[in-house]
Structure 1
Amino acid sequence: MNNILNQYEDKKVIYMKYEQQIKKLIEFLIKEEGIEVHAIDSRVKEKDSLSRKLKKKGNKYNNLEEITDILGLRIITYFEDDVDRIAEILKKQFHLDEENSIDKRKKNDPSVFGYSSLHYILTLNELRASLPEYSNYKDLTFELQIRSILQHAWAEIEHDIGYKSKYEIPGEIRRDFSRIAGLLELADKEFIRLKDFLKGYAENVEKKIQNHSLDLEINKITLQEFLNKSSEVKEIREQILSDLKVAMESDIRLIENDIRVLKFFEINSIAELDSVINLNRDKIIEFGKEWMKEYDDDTIKIDASITLFYLYYVLVYQDYSIDYLTKYLEISSMSDVAYDEFIERFEELKREGFEL
C-alpha cells in the first residue's frame, strides 16, 4: 500500500497534466460530431481517497497502473441516445478495456433502483500514443462515465438519500422509488421522441418553404427557415446595405422577440408575412436606407433579420402616432435609452416631411 501511494505521489503531476489533455481531446471529438453536452467533468483522485480504496480492497493491487480510476471523467448529455453516440466515437479513438468496462444501464437486478451510467476504462490507442504530445501518457488508464442529465439527476439524488437497494428502503415507500425511477426513464425516452419530431418538423418546413408552400404558423423553426431561405428577404437586406460596410451576424435569440412583434401586427403565418413583405418591399428599402444614414460604416452590427426590423418601422410609420410607436417599442423590449432615441428619430422624420 505504501509503495502504491509513493508511486501516486511521483506521478500525480503527470495525471493532472493528462487530465487537461484528455478533457480537451474529448471535448474536441464530441464537438466535431456536432453533439451538444451539458457538461464534461474531470478529477484526479486525491491521496486520501486512494488510501481508503487500497484499505478496502486489501491486496488486490500490486502497483499504481492496475488502478483504473486515478483519473476520472464524466460526460453528461442532454439526451440518452447521445450516450451511445459518444461511446461509439470514443471506442474508435481509444483502446477499450472491455473486461473492466460495464454498461450499468443494462443491469437486470430488479433490487437496484433507477438506472446508471455507461462506464468505460480507456487508454490511448497506438496511433495517438505515438504522438509526441501524448507519449508521457501511453500507459495510463482513465475511467469515463457517460450518462444523460436525467440519469445524472437520479444518481445525485440517490447518493444524497443514501438508498440503492430495495432491501435498504422502508417498505412503505419502496413503490414510490420504483415509480420515480420509471418516470425518469420514460422522460428520457420522451425527450428523444420530441427531439426527433422537431428535427423532422424542421426538415418538412424547409421543403415547404423551398416549394413556396407558406401556409405555416409562425414559430421559431418556421420563421428562422423563412428568413434563411426567402430570396425576397435576402434581396431587400442587400438593397438596404448596398452602400454600407457593416458587420452581418445572426442571433437566434432575436427570433422570440420577432414572433412577439409579428403578433402585435396581427401577422400569424409565414404566408401572411411573405405577403406583407412583398407588398411593402420598396418602402422597407427606402425606410432602411433613410434610417441607416445616421450610422457610420463599421459602427454597428446588423442582424440577418434586418428586413423584418425595417418592416416593423414601415408598418408603424404608415399609421404613425406617439401612442402606436410607444406600444411597438414596449412590445419589442426596447431599452430605455434606445426607446427615447427611437421616438426622437421618428418625430424628426415626420418634421422633415419624410413620406413612404
Structure 2
Amino acid sequence: MRLELFDLIDDSVKLLELNNPSYQYVEGAIKGCFEHLLEDYMDYVVGFSSRIKSIGSLKEKMIRNKYYLQFSTGEEVLNFLPDLIGLTVECRFISDENRIYQAIRHHFSFVEDQEYAQCMLYPDLCLNLAMPQPQLQRNGFTIYRIDGYYLFNGRKVNFELQIKSMVHSFWSEIEHQVVYKNTQYVMFDSFMKDILASIRDNLDVVDHQLEIVYTQILNQNKDKDIGMSERGFKMFMAKSISDLYAIKMIESIGFTTDFKKCSAVLSQYIYIKDFVQSDQPQQKMVEYFEHFNLLKISDLDFTEPITLEKEFIHYDPFCDVLGRYWQSIINIDFEWHVFFVMLFAIQPGNNIQDFTMFVEVLKSLIVNRFWYEKKFTALDNVSAQTIRDDLLRCVAEAMVEVGKVEIIHEDRLLQIMELFHEEIDRLDEMLESLEEYQLQRKDILTHLKHKICALFY
C-alpha cells in the first residue's frame, strides 16, 4: 500500500500532462508580451527563455515544500504553484537588471483592492509588483523574481518572471548542476559555502570588467575617426604621459606615485595647444608618439633642479600671480617639481616659453575671455577692467594659498570655474560703479577667496 502523498503527486502529474497544450499557448503568449514590452530596451536584453514545469521538477518541489500537507487535489497544487511557467529575461550586465525591472513596471498599473498590477497593453497579464526587488534567495544572494499570472479562458495560469544578467544566469546553472544535484557536497557544507561565495564575488568583478569593455567598444564604434577625436587624442596622451612618468620615476628615484590626474591635465594642455590649432592633427599624434618613444630611452632625472631661462613676468594678473608662485617653489615642493619636469620633457621648446604657455592655457580653462570681457560693461572701460583684473588676481591668490598640485586637476579646475562664474554673474548684477566695488572690495575678495579655498578642505 502506497503513501497517500504519492496519489496526490500522480494526480498533479496527470493534470499537468492534460493541460500541457494550454500551458504551451500561455507560455508563448507571455513571452510575446514581454518581448513587445521591452522592444525599446533590446540594447540591454540578450534574450528570452521560457519553460513549463517538468514532471520531475514538479514531483521534487511537491515533496521538498510539503505540498501534500497543504493540498488534497492536483488542481489545488497547480493553481498554487507559482512557477508553473517560467520566463527569464536575460540582460547583459548586473546593472541592467534594475533597468529592465523598472521598464517592466512602467507598463503596469495597480487595480484597486487587488494585490497584482495589470498590464496596460495586455490586460490578461498581471504581476505582483508589491514584492520587494531584488529578492533574497536561500543562498544569500539576490535575484529579480516576480510572481505573475495570465488569464486564459477565465482561469489564472501562474508564472514566474526572472531578470538575470549573463553572469547571474551562468551562476544559476553552476548552483543547479554542481551544487544542488550533487549531494556529496553536503558534508562539506560550511567550507563549500565560503568557496562558492568567493566564486560569486569574482563573477561580480568579471561582470563589472565586461561592462567596462563593452562600453569602451561601443564608444569606439561610434567614433569613425578613432584616435583622431578629442577623446581619443586625450586618452592616448594621458596614458603615454602616465606610462613615461612611471618608468622614469622608478629609474630616477626608485619609486613612483599616482600621476594619473596630472597626466590628464597635461594631455588637456597638449590638446588645446597642439591639437585644436593644428591643420594636421594626425601628424601631431604621430610626432608625439615618436617623441614619447625617444623619451623612454633618454635620461629624465627628477633629482636635478629645474632652470628657467629668465624671471617670469606676465601682464595678466592671474598668470603673473600663479606663475611667480610656481617659479618660487618649482625646486622646493617636490610635487610641483615633478609636474614641471614632465611638462618640460614632453614639450620641445625652452622652459620659460613652455611655462608661460601652460599658465595661459590654465587660465583659459577657468575663464572664458569672451564671456569675461562682457562683464561689468555697465561701467566705463577702465573701471570694468580694474574690477576684472582684481577678481582674477584673487582667484590666483586663492589657488596659491591652497598650494597643492590638486589645484590643477581637471575636476578641481571645473569646480573653480563654476564657482567663479557664479560669483561674477552675481557681482555683475549687483555692482553699479567702481566706487561701490571699492567700498565692498575687501568683503568681496575675502568671500571669493574663502569659497575657492573651501573646495579643497
TM-score, scaled to structure 1 = 0.46
TM-score, scaled to structure 2 = 0.37
Q: Which has the larger radius of gyration?
A: 2
